[in-house]
C-alpha cells in the first residue's frame, strides 16, 4: 500500500505520543497535564436527562445536516447575549466537535498550495490538518512579552493564495486571551483582503463574563468574513459526545454542508441533545466552573513565582500555561525526562509549530491547584539534572 505523502510528512498524534513515554501510569505519583480535558464529569442533572432521553430512543437517528433547530436557536441566543450583535439559527451548523468544524471550514475554503496565516504557537491539530490537505501555513512569530499576534505582520504575509487567517482565543497552547482590539484589527485586515478570519473560541466560556470578548458579531457584514468555531466539549464536559459548531455566513454554510454530508452526515444526535440541555439549564454551573479555572490560573502564576525556579511562566489562562524551560535541549527531550524522572506529563513546544523548542505546555485545568506547589518542587528538582 502507498500512503498519502502529506500524511506521512505529518507528525504523529501528539497526545498519544506523549502518553507512550509514560511507562508506569499507576504509581499514584503522576501529575497529568498532557491533554486539555475537564477535570470533572458533566453535572448529574445532565447525565440523568441524557440517560432518560437515550432510553426513550431519542438521539438514535441522524439529524438535519445543520443540526437540530432548538440547539441552533439556543446557541444563537447564547452568542447574542455574550457578544451582542446579530446571530440566528440559520448562521449555524452543528459539527462533530470543534476539530471537525475547523477541518470542514478549511476544506470549504482551501485547495492544495493555498495559504493560511496562523500565529505561533499554533494548535497542533490545526497544523496537522493544514499539512494533510497540502495547505501552507504562513506563521506569525511569537512575542513572548505580550503573547499576542501582530496584525501588521499578518498584512505583510498576505498573498494571492491566502485564503484565511486562523486565530485561537483563549489560546491553545499559550493560554493568552486576545484583546478585542487585536481581534478587530485582524477582522479589518481580513475584510480588506476579502479573506476569512477563522477564530476557534473553544475556550471562550472560561473568560471572565465581565470582560468583553470581541465585537465582531456587531458588524453588519460579519457574515462576509468572520467564521466563529465553537466547542461544547469543555464547557459542559462533553468531550466524548463530539459536539461543536461553525457560525458563519450563508455562502460558506451552503458549501460546508456538502463536506458535512460526506463526513459526519450530521453531528452526533445524543451530543446535540446534551449540548441543548447545557445551554438551557447549566448557565450557573458553567459560571462556577469558569471561576474555578480562573482561580487555578492565578494559583499556577503564584506557584511559578518561586525564587529557585528557573522555568519561566510565559502566560497562563483558560486551560493552559506556556512555560519556557531552562535547558539547551529540544523540548521533546525535556518533556520525556520530566515524565520519566519526575512523573510530570506535559507537551513539548515543538508540537505547536517551528521555533517552539524553548517551551513546554501544561494543560493545568486537569490538576487541582493544591498540586501546583508540588509541580514547582519537581521542576526545581529537575534543574539539578543534566537534560
Ligand atoms: C483550540 C481547540 N480547538 C478544538 C479542540 C477540540 O475540540 P472538540 O472536542 O470540540 O473537537 C481543542 C481541544 O483540545 C482545542 O484546544
Q: Ligand 1 centroid vs 11 CA: distance in angstroms?
A: 18
Mean pLDDT (the chain) is 96
Q: What is the pLDDT of residues 255-304, one digit of tens each?
A: 999 999 999 999 999 999 999 999 999 999 999 999 999 999 999 999 99
Ligand 1 mutation target, pool 202, 230, 274, most atoms within 8 A of CB: 202
Query: Using one digit for the tens of pLDDT, what is the confidence trace for 3-37?
Result: 999 999 898 888 998 999 998 887 789 999 998 88
DSSP state for residue 177 in the 8-state scheme: P
Pairwise CA distance, residues 382 & 303, whole Å: 16
Q: Contact at 8 Å (CB) between 73 and 227?
A: no
Pairing relation of β-strands 115-119 and 136-140?
Answer: parallel
Instruction: Give the ligand 1 atom nearest the CA of 168.
Output: 1
Supply 214's cell numbers. 470581541
Q: What is the pLDDT of residues 124-179, one digit of tens each?
A: 999 999 999 999 999 999 999 999 999 999 999 999 999 999 999 999 999 999 99
d(CA 358, CA 319): 20
94 CB under 6 A from ligand 1?
Answer: no
> 68 CA distance to ligand 1 centroid (A)?
21
Averaged pLDDT, 212-234: 97
3-state secondary structure 266-331: CCCHHHHHHHHHHHHHCHHHHHHHHHHHHHHHHHHHHHCCCCCCCCEEEEEECCEEEEECCCCCCH
Burial class (CB in 10 A: 0-12, 13-18, 19+), 313: middle
pLDDT average, residue stretch 191-215: 95
Check whether 386 has a pLDDT greater than 80.
Answer: no
What pLDDT shows up at residue 25? Answer: 80
Q: In 3-state terms, what secondary structure has residue 365? A: helix
Chain-centroid distance, C-alpha 116: 17
Buried b (16+ CB within 10 A) or exposed e, 68-88: beebbbbbbebbeebbeeebe
- With a 6 Å cutoff on the Cβ, whether 35 touches ligand 1 is no
Q: How far apart are CA 219 and CA 229, in angstroms?
A: 17
pLDDT band for position 212 (50/70/90)?
confident
Q: Quick one: fold of 5-41+285-383?
A: 3.90.1150
Residue 12: what pLDDT?
86
Q: Pocket of ligand 1, candidates 16, 33, 34, 98: which has the most ligand atoms within 8 Å of its Cβ, to mutate?
A: 98
The cell for 52 is 432518560
Mean pLDDT of the region 69-73: 98
Q: Where in the chain is the domain with CATH 3.90.1150.10?
A: 5-41+285-383
pLDDT, position 164: 98
Architecture of domain 44-282 in CATH? 3-Layer(aba) Sandwich (3.40)
- Please give the pLDDT value at position 245: 98
CATH code 3.40.640.10 region(s) in the chain: 44-282
Going through 49-135 in order, the beta strands assigned E by DSSP cover 92-95, 115-119
Mean pLDDT of 221-230: 98
pLDDT number for residue 50:
98
For residue 375, give the nearest of 334, 337, 346, 333 by alpha carbon: 346
CA of 172 to the centre of ligand 1 (A): 9
**Spacing of C-alpha 16 from chain mean position:** 17
pTM exceeding the 0.85 threshold for the entire prediction: yes
Predicted pLDDT at 189: 98
Which residues make Cβ contacts (< 8 Å) with residue 54, sequence separation at least 6? Answer: 60, 270
- Residue-wise pLDDT for 336-362, tens only, equals 999 999 999 999 999 999 999 999 999
pLDDT category at 51 given cuts 50, 70, 90 is very high
Amino acid at each position: 500500500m502507498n500512503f498519502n505523502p502529506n500524511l506521512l510528512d505529518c507528525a504523529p498524534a501528539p497526545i498519544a505520543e506523549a502518553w507512550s513515554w509514560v511507562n508506569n501510569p499507576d504509581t499514584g505519583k503522576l501529575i497529568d497535564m498532557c491533554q486539555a480535558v475537564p477535570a470533572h464529569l458533566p453535572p448529574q442533572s445532565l447525565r440523568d436527562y441524557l440517560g432518560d432521553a437515550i432510553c426513550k430512543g431519542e438521539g438514535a437517528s441522524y439529524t438535519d445536516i445543520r443540526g437540530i433547530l432548538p440547539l441552533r436557536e439556543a446557541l444563537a441566543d447564547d452568542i447574542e447575549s455574550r457578544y451582542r450583535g446579530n446571530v440566528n439559527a440559520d448562521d449555524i451548523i452543528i459539527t462533530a466537535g470543534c476539530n471537525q468544524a475547523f477541518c470542514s471550514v478549511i476544506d470549504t475554503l482551501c485547495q492544495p498550495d493555498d495559504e493560511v496565516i496562523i500565529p505561533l504557537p499554533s494548535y497542533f491539530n490545526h497544523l496537522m490538518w493544514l499539512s494533510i490537505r497540502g495547505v501552507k501555513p504562513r506563521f506569525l512569530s511569537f512575542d513572548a512579552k505580550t503573547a499576542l499576534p501582530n496584525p501588521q505582520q499578518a498584512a505583510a504575509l498576505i498573498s494571492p493564495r491566502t485564503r484565511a487567517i486562523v486565530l485561537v482565543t483563549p489560546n491553545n497552547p499559550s493560554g493568552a486571551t486576545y484583546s478585542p482590539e487585536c481581534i478587530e484589527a485582524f477582522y479589518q485586515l481580513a475584510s480588506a483582503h476579502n479573506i476569512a478570519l477563522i477564530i476557534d473560541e473553544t475556550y471562550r466560556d472560561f473568560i471572565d463574563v465581565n470582560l468583553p470578548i470581541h465585537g465582531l458579531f456587531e458588524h453588519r457584514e460579519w457574515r462576509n468574513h468572520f467564521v466563529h468555531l465553537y466547542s461544547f466539549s469543555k464547557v459542559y464536559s462533553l468531550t466524548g459526545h463530539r459536539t461543536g459548531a461553525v457560525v458563519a455566513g450563508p455562502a460558506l454554510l451552503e458549501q460546508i454542508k456538502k463536506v458535512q454530508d460526506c463526513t459526519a452526515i450530521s453531528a452526533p444526535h445524543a451530543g446535540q441533545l446534551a449540548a441543548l440541555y447545557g445551554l438551557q439549564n447549566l448557565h450557573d454551573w458553567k459560571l462556577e466552573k469558569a471561576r474555578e479555572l480562573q482561580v487555578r490560573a492565578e494559583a499556577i502564576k503564584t506557584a511559578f513565582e518561586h525564587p529557585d525556579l528557573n522555568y519561566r511562566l510565559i502566560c497562563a489562562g483558560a486551560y493552559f500555561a506556556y512555560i519556557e524551560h531552562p535547558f539547551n535541549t529540544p523540548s521533546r527531550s525535556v518533556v520525556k525526562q520530566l515524565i520519566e524522572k519526575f512523573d510530570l506529563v506535559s507537551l513539548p513546544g515543538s508540537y505547536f509549530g517551528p521555533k517552539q523548542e524553548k517551551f513546554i505546555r501544561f494543560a493545568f485545568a486537569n490538576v487541582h491547584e493544591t498540586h501546583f506547589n508540588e509541580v514547582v518542587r519537581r521542576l526545581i528538582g529537575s534543574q539539578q539534572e543534566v537534560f
